[in-house]
Amino acid sequence: MKIELKNTACFGVAGNFTGHLEQAGEAADFVSVAAAENAPKAVFPTYIPGACGTVPSFLGVFPFDSLEIRFLEGEKKVQIEPECAVVFRAHWNGDVIESLVPLCFGASNDCSIRKEGAKKISLKKNWGASSKGFSSSLIPIDFFSAGGILDRYRIASFLVRGGTVYEYGEDSAVRNYSYIYGTLLEWLLDKLNGQRDEGPAENINGYLNECGRPEQIMISIGATRYTPFGQNNFLQNGDESVVVLYPEDVYNSEQIKTMVLENDFPQADISVLRQKVVL
């Protein structure tokens, strides 16, 4: 399945795997953000096509690349954020999104700069072209609820350095997100329509209305927790970042790691994002 991402408004979800924000050193950013227990903290923008009005101009720069990650000279703390991303069709009723219809999913690298003092999450997410990743191999969604295709899938991530494959994020089931399926959809509609510009969060509904109420929205629904290696190792020139979404009833984690080492993946049922890190 192909998606024209340049015409798609793109977002991420902060704090949808318990423990990730603490590992990333970002929990303090959300102290003032009211949220239910175990709920994600906020939706943040990574790309708004045709950014205009109050939308920060940097969000109009297309940041996604399926082959490379380029990061700014002088930045030292850049980490892979391995995620499942879902593309939705948005149905509008006036100036609010009435419903989100899931279309397909794929491997995402919501790559982030660990930067203290950034006022908004988006400032650590889109620093220009090739600052993020979304797989070109997308998988259609049958239905977005328990028992559907996503119940079978896991998120694995790796850093390849000097010919050695290191596990970067914990191998995690998509179904184990804190918020998933109906709970996630309800939460997303609330945030896309009603999130206010406060603390690290931004007024998403205002952005979307100013930029033409896009009919397609991609959301990376949350980064997994890191392994000890992933938590303590930042990207370096020449590394390769690999995020894999795979069905657990067909493959196991060791088979996936071998595929990463050999760079040889089946095309039908696995979504792979492999990016070379370039300074």
277/279 Cα distance (integer angstroms): 7
* φ/ψ (deg, to 5) at 15: 80, 40
206/95 Cα distance (integer angstroms): 9
pLDDT at 75: 82
pLDDT at 26: 55
The domain that contains 15 carries what CATH number? 3.90.850.10
Where does the pLDDT of residue 94 fall: very low under 50, low under 70, confident under 90, or very high at 90 and above? very high
- Closest to 149 (Cα-Cα) out of 219, 252, 82, 247: 247
pLDDT at 117: 65
47/49 Cα distance (integer angstroms): 6
Quick one: tokens of 203? 């007024």
pLDDT score of 15 more than 90: no
| Half-sphere exposure of residue 226: CA atoms within 13 angstroms, side-chain side | 18
pLDDT at 39: 87
Structural domain total, the chain: 1
Q: What is the pLDDT of residues 37-80, one digit of tens each?
A: 678 989 999 999 999 999 999 999 999 999 999 987 788 899 99
pLDDT at 20: 44
Per-chain mean pLDDT for the chain: 91
Domain ranges, residue 165: 5-278
Predicted TM-score (pTM) of this structure: 0.93
pLDDT at 29: 58
Element containing residue 208 per DSSP (H, E): helix 204-210
pLDDT at 34: 52
